[in-house]
C-alpha cells in the first residue's frame, strides 16, 4: 500500500485554519507534510458534480463499487471534502481497541449527528465510513495516520487520523480521542445507498439534507 497523506493548505500552528474549497481539495490528494505520520491509503478519483449543483448544495452521487479495502476517496459536497473510506477488517477491529480512550465513543454529545452515526462504526455499512474531512476544532483538514503503534503517537496508537494544526486525533470512525482540542467527533453527513455500488451524499431516508 502506497504512502500518501492528507495535508492541509494554509494552516499554521496556533492560528485558526480556514482553508478554501480549492486548498481543501488539493490537501486531500497532496503529498505528506512534516506533521503527517504513518501509512495512508491510496486515493482514487471521485465524481465531480456540476458547478451549479455544488453552488446549490445538491446531493452528490458516488460510485463506490471499485473502492477497494484500504482505499479512501474524496468528493466535494457543499464546498466541503467528504471522505469515503473502505475500512479493512483490521481497521474495524481497531475501533473497539480505541474506545476506552475516546471522548465520546457513542457520538452522544453532538445532537446534530444522524442516528446512523451513533453505532460503533458510525456508518450505514460497517466497512464504508463517510465523514466530512474537517476537524471540529478550527477547521483544518486532518491527515491520515493509519499505522498502528506509530512511535510519533505512542505504542498504543490504534490507527486513525491526526489534525496537524493543533494535534487532535480521531479513530477510524472519526471519533475524537480524550484531552484533545476538537470538541466533538467528525461530522457524518446525510447519506444513503441507492444500490450496493452507488452512494448519495447530501440526503438520507429521514429527509435530512
Task: Give the torsion sign (CA, 197, 78, 102, 70).
Answer: positive
Indicate if 86 belongs to the active site.
Answer: no
The residue among 100, 76, 64 whose CA lies nearest residue 194 is 64
Domains in the chain with CATH codes: 21-201 (2.102.10.10)
Q: What is the mean pLDDT of residues 153-182?
A: 91
pLDDT digits (tens, 9 = 90+) for 81-102: 999 999 999 999 999 999 999 9
Confidence of residue 24 (pLDDT cuts 50, 70, 90): very low
In residues, how long is the chain?
Answer: 209
Confidence of residue 143 (pLDDT cuts 50, 70, 90): confident
Three-state secondary-structure class, residue 186:
coil
Residue of 121, 137, 166, 191 marked catalytic: 166
pLDDT of residue 158: 87
pLDDT of residue 26: 36
- Is the pLDDT at 37 greater than 50? The verdict is no
User: Cell triple for residue 76?
Assistant: 466535494
Amino acid at each position: 500500500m502506497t504512502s500518501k497523506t492528507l495535508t492541509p493548505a494554509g494552516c499554521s500552528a496556533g492560528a485558526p485554519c480556514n482553508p478554501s474549497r480549492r486548498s481543501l481539495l488539493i490537501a486531500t490528494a497532496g503529498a505528506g507534510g512534516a506533521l503527517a505520520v504513518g501509512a495512508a491509503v491510496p486515493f482514487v478519483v471521485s465524481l465531480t458534480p456540476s458547478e451549479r449543483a455544488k453552488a446549490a448544495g445538491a446531493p452528490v452521487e458516488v460510485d463506490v463499487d471499485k473502492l477497494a479495502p484500504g482505499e479512501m476517496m474524496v468528493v466535494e459536497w457543499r464546498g466541503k471534502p467528504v471522505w469515503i473510506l473502505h475500512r479493512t477488517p483490521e481497521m474495524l477491529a481497531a475501533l473497539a481497541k480505541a474506545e476506552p480512550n475516546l471522548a465520546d465513543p457513542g457520538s452522544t454529545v453532538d445532537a446534530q449527528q444522524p442516528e446512523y452515526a451513533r453505532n460503533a462504526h458510525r456508518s450505514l455499512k460497517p466497512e464504508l465510513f463517510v465523514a466530512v474531512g474537517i476537524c471540529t476544532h478550527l477547521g483544518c483538514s486532518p491527515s491520515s495516520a493509519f499505522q498502528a503503534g506509530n512511535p510519533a503517537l505512542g505504542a498504543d496508537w490504534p490507527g486513525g487520523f491526526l489534525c496537524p494544526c493543533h494535534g487532535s486525533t480521531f479513530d477510524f470512525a472519526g471519533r475524537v480521542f480524550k484531552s484533545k482540542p476538537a470538541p466533538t467527533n467528525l461530522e457524518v453527513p446525510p447519506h444513503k445507498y441507492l444500490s450496493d455500488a452507488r452512494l448519495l451524499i447530501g440526503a438520507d431516508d429521514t429527509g435530512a439534507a
